[in-house]
Structure 1
Amino acid sequence: MFKNIPNILTLLRILLIPVFVIIFYLPWQHAAQACALVFALAAITDWFDGYLARKLEQVSALGAFLDPVADKLMVAAALILLVQQDPIPGLAIPVLVIIGREITISALREWMAEVGARATIAVSAIGKIKTAFQMTAIFLMIYRDDFFTLPMYTIGFVLLYVAVILTLWSMVMYIKAAWPSLNDQSLVEEEKNG
């Protein structure tokens, strides 16, 4: 496992979560910037582990399992901390949509895998674009302070809403792809008799 670089990067991303949370709460002038840097490092490892897994031919079952778990844990942790820091409905609602979508799609993928139809709901291009907007939005909102005259938090807040639209769109696409299996009565009977 320790010879598998993509898996090491994925585990690093998981280990960065408590570091991220601790830095977030530090009473230090530059805590927000340091926290944003940790989040950016995690986001970069997310891209690199998938790229390296394919490039080095180190795709593994462990990596396929851990990669989405690491992503969802880091994103959920960051979003929850942002809502705790700024508890307004305008932030809580998109956060609930994003986390709710992740739970829904994870459950859908698990069920589709059980019935042998997982390939019908593979990660789409819209899902990757959604992730890029989401990661950028979270990074900017964590960074918080203006960068020269650019209002980073405000830009991040707007991008978060773009990410929410893409989140809902990608969820609809996943459900649409899975709909034939979800409506297949023989699968329901099979599940009952299981």
Structure 2
Amino acid sequence: MNIPNILTLARIAFIPLLVVFFYLPFSWSMPVGAGLFALAAVTDWLDGYLARRWDQATPFGAFLDPVADKLMVAVALALLIERFDSMWLTLPALVIIGREIVISALREWMAEMGKRGSVAVSWLGKVKTTLQMVALLLLLAFPPGTQLALLGIATLYVAAILTLWSMVLYLRSAWPHLSRSM
């Protein structure tokens, strides 16, 4: 157990806190929930940075980090689908969640074939993740109908488009290996 892994575990621990603050009936609950999400998003960057900088990357961390990211994003999106109760938020949310499932399955399959490097995280995935985090932060912090919530939805659409684009790139790079195993 090292500091990067502890930060990843803390990110997972923030998830139930986010849910609790999301449902509290106080005016301060939205900004506190958004703050927790922001803190979790910072730990996503920080744990990877520290693991590389301090040479503390572990197989446990390599497994747990993407799981923590996907849990955090999926839970936030599920909460926001309820809050916004709108096709305009539900559509990009489902695209993002669906892509995460497809790419996770693809990575697992490629790892079983010894080709996990074919679906490594790309720069596009990092941009997509950053836009997702910004969009989710805005949507958690501001009520539906506000200008900043609308900006959050617009940013979520850009993230969803990048999500689909990166999925196509991942599938294209994995296709030679996948087509041989059919």
Q: Normalised by the size of structure 2, how large is the TM-score?
A: 0.97
Match of 1:133 in 2: 131
Aligned partners of 1:145 and 1:151 also within 8 Å? no
Match of 1:173 in 2: 169
Q: Does 1:162 align with 2:158?
A: yes
The letter for the 2-side match of 1:158 is A
Match of 2:62 in 1: 64
Runs of 4 or more off by more than 6 Å in structure 1? none
For residues 54 and 37 of structure 1, the distance between their equivalents in structure 2, rounded to whole angstroms, comes to 26
**Higher relative contact order, chain-length normalized (CA < 8 Å, sep 6+):** 2
- RMSD over equivalenced CA pairs, Å: 1.2
For residues 135 and 160 of structure 1, the distance between their equivalents in structure 2, rounded to whole angstroms, comes to 9
Q: How big is the shift at 1:90?
A: 1.1
Matches within 5 A, 1:11-160: 11-145=9-143, 151-160=147-156
Q: Mark the structure with the bigger radius of gyration.
A: 1
Q: Normalised by the size of structure 1, how large is the TM-score?
A: 0.91
Aligned partners of 1:94 and 1:164 also within 8 Å? yes
The letter for the 2-side match of 1:165 is I
Q: How big is the shift at 1:151?
A: 1.9
The letter for the 1-side match of 2:102 is T
SS at match of 2:151: helix
- Structure 2, unpaired ranges of 5+: none
Percent of matched pairs sharing the same residue = 57
**How many residues were matched structurally?**
181
For residues 166 and 14 of structure 1, the distance between their equivalents in structure 2, rounded to whole angstroms, comes to 25
For residues 29 and 156 of structure 1, the distance between their equivalents in structure 2, rounded to whole angstroms, comes to 20
The letter for the 1-side match of 2:75 is A
1:117-139 Cα offsets, whole Å, 9 max, x none, are 11111100000000000000000
For residues 103 and 145 of structure 1, the distance between their equivalents in structure 2, rounded to whole angstroms, comes to 28
SS at match of 1:183: helix
For residues 95 and 17 of structure 1, the distance between their equivalents in structure 2, rounded to whole angstroms, comes to 17
For residues 80 and 90 of structure 1, the distance between their equivalents in structure 2, rounded to whole angstroms, comes to 14
The letter for the 1-side match of 2:160 is V
For residues 86 and 33 of structure 1, the distance between their equivalents in structure 2, rounded to whole angstroms, comes to 16
1:82-104 Cα offsets, whole Å, 9 max, x none, are 00111111111111100000000
Q: 1:119 to 1:180 in 2, by over 3 A?
A: same
Q: How big is the shift at 1:182?
A: 1.0
For residues 162 and 43 of structure 1, the distance between their equivalents in structure 2, rounded to whole angstroms, comes to 18
